Structure 1
Amino acid sequence: MIKWGIIGLGNIAMRFAKSLSYTKEGKLYAIASKTKDKRDSFYEQYNCDKVYEDYYELLNDEEIDAVYIALPHGLHKYWSIEALRHKKAVLCEKPVGLNAEEMKEIKKEAYLNKTFFMEAMKTRFIPLIHTIKEILKNNEIGEITNIEANFCNNVTDIKQGSYLLDKKQGGALLDVGVYPLSFVMDMIDSEVDQVKSHMEINEAGVDSYFKAILTFENGVIGTIEGAIDRNKERTAIIKGTKGCIEIPIYNRPHKVIVNLNNEESYKIEKELEFDDMYAEIKEVHDCLKELKLQSENLSLNESIRVMNVLDEIRKTAKIN
């Protein structure tokens, strides 16, 4: 049985704890938060063995095998590295850090400590994503020409002081942009050659909207959008020379529509197993059982690769 600790007890941590409860290989053993109300509420709901107000106390608990880090973005690198130094396997919520350099530091520590690390980019592990990649591999829609994905929300209840409004760690690109970016890069077997992007900055000084056009070395064009100030139907479209694939709610898909140029079309539906976080937890359990230091589906280098492009989007952005 893999015993988990959770550092940071926001809404995403609650979803993780619920997903973890569906597994047979792992259990929630300990939680840590600096906020008493959160600790009390979480314990009452999930009834774990240990409750800590100090993160180091949790990391020093020798009973814990793995740690889920659900803190604000700017704290991901520091506590991932501390957990690795305490020989705890780490599943760190996305984005894995603020930039590629932070992920490179995490990779170094994972190797030095011979300890497992994975970014919690849940989309990569959902079964239907693997089905889509098989469709592409089988050339059913021909050569890919374009791919589009967006993640646009109108977040109206951002509290003053929220990390989303922090100039260092806030904004749409870091919070939601990693979803379409990681999805597009997962689907295209090529490196990004050129990036063109623009951002809109809100009164708090963070990007409330961005759009980026990625040109891959093989000629494929990827277009991604993200927002925290507007809504848009969340979907991905992969266009090829023989047809296209539509993926509604691509970040946790349960349906795919394949439209072929000969006017044939078909639909594939696969319900999520329990929920959208279960598959990534199962991946961690499988990797730990096989004594792996990283996942083949989302390696340390792959997280660096995605963050490199995110850095380039930020660097090349024309500001409105």
Structure 2
Amino acid sequence: MIRWGIIGLGNIASRFAKSLSYTNEGKLYAIASKTKEKRDAFHNKYNCEKVYEDYDQLLNDNEIDAVYIALPHGSHKYWSIEALRRKKAVLCEKPVGLNAEEMKEIKTEALLNNTFFMEAMKTRFIPLVHEIKEIIKNNEIGEIVAIEANFCNHVENINPGSYLLDKKQGGALLDVGIYPLSFVMDMIDSEVNEVNSYMDINESEVDAYFKATITFKNGVIGTVEGAIDRNKERTAIIKGTKGFIEIPIYNRPSMVTVNIDGNQPYTIEKEIEFDDMYAEIQEVHNSLRDSKLQSDCLPLDESIRVMEVLDRIRINAGQK
């Protein structure tokens, strides 16, 4: 049985705890938060064995095998490294850090400490995403020429102290833009040749909207878009020389429509097992069972590859 600790007790941590309860291989053992109200409410709901008010105390607990880091983006690198140094397997919420250099530091520590690390990019592990990749691999829609994905959401009544408005760690690109970017990078196995990007900067001096065009060396054009100040139907479209694939709610898809030139479109439906976080937790459990230091579906270098493009989007839009 893999005993988990959770660092940070926001909404995403509650979703993780619920997903973990569906598994047979893991259980919630300990939680840590600096806020007493959050600790008390979380313990009452999930009835874990240990409750800590200090993150270091949790990491020093020898009974813990793995930790889920659910803190704001700017704290991901520091606490991931602290956990790895204490030989705790780590599942860290997306984005894995603020930039590619932070992920490179995490990789160094994971390998140095011979300890598992994975970014919690849940989309990579949802079964239907693997089927989409098989359709592409089998050349059903021909050679891929373009792919586009967006994650635009109007977040209302943002607390002035929220990390979303923090110049260091806030904005659309880091918070929601990582979804379409990671999806596009997952579908296209090619180096990136060129990145062109644009951002709208709001009064808090963070990007409220961004759009980027990514040109891969194999000729595929990727378009990604994200926002925290406007809504747009969330979808991804993969265009090939013989047709296209349409994926509603691509970040947690349960349905995909395949359109092949000259044929009737067909739909594939596959319900997500339990919820959209369950599969990524199972990936950690399976990897630890097999004594792997990284996931086959989302290895350390892939997280670096995605973050390198994210850096280029930011820089090319005139942001540091």
Unaligned 5+ runs, structure 1? none
Q: For residues 76 and 54 of structure 2, what CA distance do their matches in structure 1 show? A: 16
Counterpart-to-counterpart distance in 1, 2:73 and 2:61: 24
Q: What's the counterpart of residue 62 of structure 2? A: 62
Q: Give 3-state SS (helix, strand or coil) of 1:185's partner.
A: helix
Query: Which amino acid is 2:293 matched to?
Result: L
1:207 aligns with 2:207: yes
Amino acid at match of 2:269: E
SS at structure 2 position matched to 1:23 = coil
Equivalent AA in structure 2 for residue 127 of structure 1: P
Question: Residues 191-238 of structure 1: CA distance to partner in whole angstroms, max 9, x if unpaired?
Answer: 110000000000000000000000000000000000000000000000
- SS at 1:67 equivalent: strand
Q: Which residue of 2 aligns with 1:269?
A: 269
Q: Does 1:143 align with 2:161?
A: no
Q: Specify the alignment match of 2:79 in structure 1.
A: 79
TM-score, normalised by the number of residues in structure 2 = 0.99
Q: Which residue of 1 aligns with 2:234?
A: 234
Question: Alignment partner of 2:44: what SS?
Answer: helix
SS of residue in 2 equivalent to 1:297: coil
Alpha-carbon distance between aligned partners in 1 of 2:188 and 2:266, rounded to the nearest angstrom? 22
Structure 2 CA distance, aligned partners of 1:215 and 1:50? 49
In the alignment, structure 2 segments of 5+ residues that lack a partner are none
1:27 aligns with 2:36: no
RMSD over aligned CA atoms reads: 0.7
Q: Which residue of 2 aligns with 1:123?
A: 123
Runs of 4+ in 1 over 6 A off after TM superposition: none
SS at match of 1:205: coil
Aligned equivalents of 2:236, 2:116: Cα separation in 1: 31
Identity of aligned residues (%): 79
Task: Show the counterpart of 1:181.
Answer: 181
Q: Which residue of 2 aligns with 1:132?
A: 132
Q: Give the TM-score, by structure 1 length.
A: 0.99
Report deviation, 1:160. Answer: 1.1
Task: Select between 309-318 and 135-144 the one with higher mean Cα deviation.
Answer: 309-318
- My pick for the range that moved more, 206-215 or 262-271, is 262-271
Deviation track 1:233-270 (CA, whole Å, cap 9, x = no partner) reads 00000000000000000000000000111132100000
Partner Cα separation in structure 2 for residue 150 and residue 88 of structure 1: 34
Structure 2 residue identity aligned to 1:143: E
Partner of 2:297: 297
1:259 partner SS: strand
- 2:128 is the alignment partner of 1:162: no
d(CA) in 2 for partners of 1:131 and 1:20? 24
How far did 1:157 drift?
Answer: 2.4
Give the secondary-structure state (helix, strand or coil) at the position aligned to 2:309: helix
- How far 1:30 sits from its partner (Å)? 0.2
Q: Distance in 1 between matches of 2:243 and 2:318?
A: 33
Q: Secondary structure at the match of 2:315?
A: helix
Please give the alpha-carbon distance, in whole angstroms, between the structure 1 residues aligned to 2:143 and 2:15: 38
- Please list the CA deviations of residues 117-167 of structure 1 after superposition, one character each: whole Å capped at 9, or x if unmatched: 000000000000000000000000000011000000000021011000000
Shift in Å, 1:277: 0.1
Separation in structure 2 between the aligned mates of residue 197 and residue 56 of structure 1, nearest angstrom: 39
The 2-side partners of 1:190 and 1:288 are apart by 29
Distance 1:301 1:98 in 2: 16
State the partner residue of 1:51.
Answer: 51
User: By how many angstroms is 1:318 displaced?
Assistant: 5.1
Q: State the distance in 1 between where 2:20 and 2:123 align.
A: 17
